[in-house]
Chain A
Amino acid sequence: MADVTLTIDGKKITVPAGTTVLQAAREKGIFIPTLCHDPKLSPWGGCRLCVVEIEGMRGLPASCVTTATEGMVVQTASPAVLEARRMLLELLLANHPQDCLTCSKNGACSLQDYAYYYGVRGDQFQGEKHAYPVEADNPFIVRDLNKCVLCGKCIRVCDEVQVNNAIDFAHRGFNTRVTPAMDLSLKESEACVFCGNCVQVCPVGALVEKASLWQGRQWELTKVRTTCTFCGVGCNLEVSVKDDRVVRVRGYDNPLVNNGWLCVKGRFGADFADSPERVARPLIRTGARGEGRFREATWDEALDYTARRLTEIKEQYGSRAIAALSSARCTNEENYLMQKFMRAVIGSNNVDHCART
């Protein structure tokens, strides 16, 4: 497609046709705040924080949904724009708990960052604030609608990425809120699969991981990039760690694999890492089958024992008496090795996999 050249804050910028003013500005490092915008989701234009002044256009258009055109002249920080952004932030803060002291998003909250950037204290309007009960009836997500800025990203990620449509806007005006059908909780709705992608896109503290509460401030966490072990897809993870404990798991933005999105297991299943029930050493059964009595063994002993028993069974009953079941949590290479071992060494085609059905 052809290029267009526009002027933003006095700088001439050339971008491919179809680029939004927001993209064009951000490519040149020009700061424009957004709450509802996410390049991976459909355009929304709801929060209006990204408004700019464009010569010849009425009012202050939202740059996230305005396409750059040839010769366009844009101001991203004119007095009218700054007045509007400050007022919009005042309005959002007027209906926000402002309990940043103990909010788990403190230090990673867009609303907080913008309020600081623009010097908005949120004390201009003293009026009604919402007092919704905090929803925490499920094991994974804490939903505090009092902190919600209604950017709608959670709704779009649920619709466009997870394709579950578990939540949408309901009610009108000041009472508009995001909710599952019939105002049920996420757990009651039965439509939510707790993938938690909504938590990941939430710019404020309205949706947070339950297991992360009180486990560490944002700046105490070390972020580690790794790969999810739950299945062979290999989703990239960004694991937040404090004192060698996993505090939180988020998708790492690798467009080649999971593009930053995760499922319920990858996001909320990290508790196995330091579970006391985790099998950390080989165990050899000591009692009768089903009795549940085991003793710890070394890897050498366990492998010798397994090799000996497989050989005995094969000699006594033949290769077809042996079957192997492998796990989706193994890598492709491990699964390949397992079936190769069964066919070439044991001599059996009785190979199966937990994810087959």
Chain B
Amino acid sequence: MRDLKEWRQTLQQQDRPADRPSLTVGMSTCGQAAGGARVMAALEAEVKRLGLQVDISQTSCIGMCYAEPIVEVALPGKPRVFYGDMTPERGGRLVASHVVQGVPVREWALIQLPGNASPYEGIPVMPASPYYGRQVRVVTSRLGLTDPESLAEYIATGGYAALEKCLRQMTPEQVVEEIKTSGLRGRGGAGFPTGLKWGFTRSAPGEKKYVVCNADEGDPGAFMDRSVLEGDPFAVIEGMTIAAYAIGADEGYIYCRAEYPLAIKRLKMAIAAAEAKGLLGSNILGSGFNFELHIKAGAGAFVCGEETALLASIEGRRGMPRVRPPFPAQQGLWGKPTNINNVETYANVPYIIQNGGRWFAAMGTEKSKGTKVFCLTGKVKKTGLIEVPMGITLREIIFDIAGGIQDDRRFKAVQIGGPSGGCLPADKLDLPVDYDSLTRAGAIMGSGGMVVMDENTCMVDVARFFLNFTQVESCGKCTPCREGTKRMLEILTRICAGEGRMEDLDTLEGLARVVKNTALCGLGQTCPNPILSTLQNFRHEYEAHIKDKRCPAHVCQALLVYTIDPEKCTGCGACTRACPAGAISGEKKQPHRIDPALCIKCGSCMEKCKFGAISRL
């Protein structure tokens, strides 16, 4: 295909203005998990029942995970309105009011996107809404707004203009230079300058070269890459194609974890669609440039997100890291020079090429350019997928965008960077979010998971959780990671069980230091971070567990004590019936008591007591 521009214009003319109403349902993994498919079916049934002429289609994750399932209603010439927390039962009123009568249901509406139309009253406009006001959507700009499975929509919204620009107007060297100018750094976590990496792979000797996309997103609480793959697969493919052109590769792999079936399905569809239109495969856009793209589904090992283990896995070997150098840019897949970037990095590329490296470099901080996608999870009011300019503070993200802590409890810490990251306390809330500031503070940017914790979170338990994760995910190759994580986990488990000793803290610190210094790969070198950062910022919680045999957050079961306040107890017996261990006794209408020797600390009694007589200490 040679006339992409012409096709784009035709598509744009066809598309606008829409001449009939449309209903669009968020059907990414998050939307489907929340019941999007049932909502979609209910809407289809309702539209059919009323005999309406309405387009019903699907879209991807717009980022407001807390409000899924989300349905968009658009009438010709009117703003697009997004409704949250939709249920099949709400479908009837939504169709009757908004579609038939043209009156939006304001109490369910989250935001609107007016475009050229005049906005509805009483519904926040997307760019000005509290959730989106501080966001800058680049990589996520299509998410929730287009059909991710449609190549036509991708092209109508400017897709493949960047690849066309590269192939028609730029030499590979110029492409590499443009990426260097942008200051883009790897979004997988380590933050290596992307342009430099491309340059290394380009200048590495060898005829055969590969481009690999790391889509083995595995951090607990991270789903940026999944959302981007599900929401804009063509952008990732276009970015990879541009990278292949820049470094001189003709073949590439997307290594995507098998637990992301929808992402893999959409990638397969996107690859097939792009190939059919000559945008992938042989002689792309008639330029003579060839690029063949494969998908490799990972079998679920966290360590395969480490680039050398990932390459071993593609080659059919056990996913175990090897020592670098040689770096993949010199000797990668099957020993050939290979460029590896993650999903978000490639997804940024088309925008950088289209708008120029300087445009990208104007966003962010001096050393961290552009935007970053984060997954907000944990105890915030609005969990979701956000994209913010680098340099924004943690406070702005957690309190302005995410609306603060659930039930207005006290903020305790935010865990950034997954098992390799650290827990930052309240006094770090005004820290700018960029690669270097986070590293200095004892966390890392990581791939973008942000788990917010409130006062009900036990930091020793958090450290134990992450060590358990790294222990079972350790590949077993090097001694410190395989054996060290096991002993650190045992010590933490002991402390949580109230059997810790003060010298355990010194042992933990010593072990953490050795593991950090001697482990082979990034997984091992960073796995002590959750311990080191909690020891640094929340040492008093460790000491409370050890010295006072007390869990300040009331999380560690072995340290809990349930007691009944005789003043409040009415002797109703509800707790006695709820107790599975027979630990509660007392005469009818007389205050009851709990036998601590029998109590298994399940908390059932406390849930059942209507008088607030049972407390947990």
Mask: chain B, 466-504; 1 = CB below 8 Å from A; 0 = not: 000001111111111011111100100000000000000
Q: How many A-B residue pairs have CB under 8 A?
A: 107
**8 Å CB contact of A174 from B477, B478, B480, B486:** B486
Main secondary structure of the interface of A (DSSP, over half): loop
Partner of A92, one of B323, B472, B483: B483
Q: Is A176 an interface residue (CB 8 A)?
A: yes
Over the window 26-67 of chain A, the binary record of Cβ atoms lying under 8 Å from chain B Cβ atoms (1 yes, 0 no) is 000000000000000001011111010000000110100111
Asked if A88 contacts B520 (CB within 8 A), the reply is: no
Instruction: State which of B474, B475, B513, B519 has its C-beta within 8 Å of the C-beta of A48.
Output: B519
| Contact assessment for A88 and B480 in the assembled complex, using a CB-CB cutoff below 8 Å | yes
Q: Does A118 sit at the interface, judged by CB under 8 A? A: no
Q: Are A88 and B514 in contact (CB-based, < 8 A)?
A: yes
Partner of A47, one of B478, B510, B516: B478
Is the beta-carbon distance between B475 and A176 smaller than 8 angstroms? yes
Interface residues of B in 24-70 (CB under 8 A from A): none
Given contacts A59-B517, A150-B476, A173-B476, contact A65 B323 (CB under 8 A): yes
Binary flags per residue of B519-537, CB closer than 8 Å to A gives 1, else 0: 1100001000000000000
Complex contacts, A128 vs chain B, CB 8 Å: 486, 490
Chain A residue, CB-CB nearest to B303? A172
Among A79-87, A138-146, A200-208, A273-281, the stretch that binds chain B is A79-87
B473: chain A residues at CB < 8 Å are 172-173
The answer to whether B478 and A46 have CB atoms under 8 Å apart is yes
Contact B320 A84 (CB under 8 A): no
| Known A-B contacts A60-B518, A62-B520, A173-B473; A168 and B479 likewise in contact (beta carbons under 8 Å) | no
Within the complex, what minimum Cβ distance (angstroms) separates A155 from chain B? 10
Q: How far is the CB of B583 from chain A (nearest CB, A)?
A: 30
Structural contact, B320 and A169, CB atoms closer than 8 A? yes
Q: Which of chain B's residues have a CB closer than 8 A to the CB of A124? A: 507
User: Which of A87, A168, A174 contacts B318 (CB under 8 A)?
Assistant: A168
Q: Does B375 contact A (CB under 8 A)?
A: no
A150 proximity list for chain B (CB < 8 A): 476-477, 479, 482
Q: How far is the CB of A241 from chain B (nearest CB, A)?
A: 36
Residues of B within 8 A of A80 (CB): 517
Taking CB atoms, residues of chain B closer than 8 Å to A47 are: 478-479
**CB–CB A173/B474 < 8 A:** yes
- Range for the number of chain A residues in contact with chain B: 35 or more
A193 in the interface, Cβ–Cβ < 8 Å?
A: no
| B96 is an interface residue with CB less than 8 A from chain A | no
Q: Is the CB of B476 within 8 A of A91?
A: no
Residue of B322, B486, B514 near A87 (CB, 8 A) is B514
- Is the C-beta of A240 less than 8 angstroms from some C-beta in chain B? no
Q: Verify if B511 is at the interface (C-beta below 8 Å from A).
A: yes
Is A255 in contact with chain B by the CB < 8 A criterion? no
Q: Does A72 contact B (CB under 8 A)?
A: no
Given contacts A45-B323, A59-B525, A174-B486, are A169 and B476 in contact (CB under 8 A)? yes
Question: Which A residue's beta carbon lies closest to that of B481?
Answer: A173
The answer to the question of B229 belonging to the interface, with a C-beta cut-off of 8 Å to chain A, is no
Contact size class for B? 20 to 34
Closest to B525 in A: A59
Quick one: closest A residue to B494, CB to CB? A127
Would A176 and B476 be within 8 Å (CB), given that A45-B322, A84-B517, A84-B518 are in contact? Answer: yes
Known: A88-B518, A124-B507. A172 touches B301 (CB 8 A): yes
| Min CB–CB distance A154 → chain B (angstroms) | 14
- Bound complex: CA A169 to CA B478 (Å): 12
CB neighbours of B318 from chain A (8 A)? 168-169
| A95 interface residue (CB < 8 Å to B) | yes
Query: Do B486 and A48 touch across chains, with their CB atoms under 8 A apart?
Result: no
| Complex Cα gap A88–B484 (Å) | 8
Q: Is the CB of A173 within 8 A of B490?
A: no
Residues A83 and B483 in contact, CB atoms below 8 Å apart: no
* Contact indicator A48/B479 (Cβ below 8 Å): yes
Q: How far, in Å, is A80 (CB) from chain B's closest CB?
A: 7
Q: Counting CB contacts under 8 A, is A171 at the interface?
A: yes
Contact across chains for B474 and A91 when beta carbons are under 8 A apart = no
Q: Is A302 an interface residue (CB 8 A)?
A: no
With a 10 A CB-CB cut-off, give which of A127, A168, A169 has the most chain B CB atoms.
A127
Is A94 in contact with chain B by the CB < 8 A criterion? yes
Tell me if A125 is interfacial: C-beta within 8 Å of chain B: yes
**A152 close to chain B: CB less than 8 A:** yes
Binary flags per residue of A116-151, CB closer than 8 Å to B gives 1, else 0: 000000001101100000000000000000000110
What is the distance, in angstroms, from B114's C-beta to the closest C-beta of chain A?
52
A173 to B484, CA, bound (A): 10
Least distance between A22 CB and chain B CB atoms (Å): 12
Chain A 175-190 interface 0/1 with B at a Cβ cutoff of 8 Å (1 = within):
1100000000000000
List the A residue with the shortest CB-CB distance to B513.
A83
Whether A48 contacts B520 by the Cβ 8 Å rule is yes
B476 touching A88 by the CB < 8 A rule? no
B471: A residues at CB distance < 8 A: 173-174
In the complex, 13 of the A-B residue pairs with CB atoms within 8 angstroms, ordered by the A residue number, are A46-B479, A83-B510, A83-B514, A84-B517, A84-B518, A87-B510, A88-B480, A91-B484, A125-B490, A149-B479, A169-B320, A172-B473, A174-B471
Q: Which 7 A-B pairs have the closest CB atoms?
A: A176-B476, A91-B483, A65-B323, A87-B514, A127-B490, A174-B486, A173-B474
Q: Which residues of A approach B to under 8 Å, CB–CB? A: 43, 45-49, 51, 59-60, 62, 65-67, 80, 83-84, 87-88, 91-92, 94-95, 124-125, 127-128, 149-150, 152, 168-169, 171-176
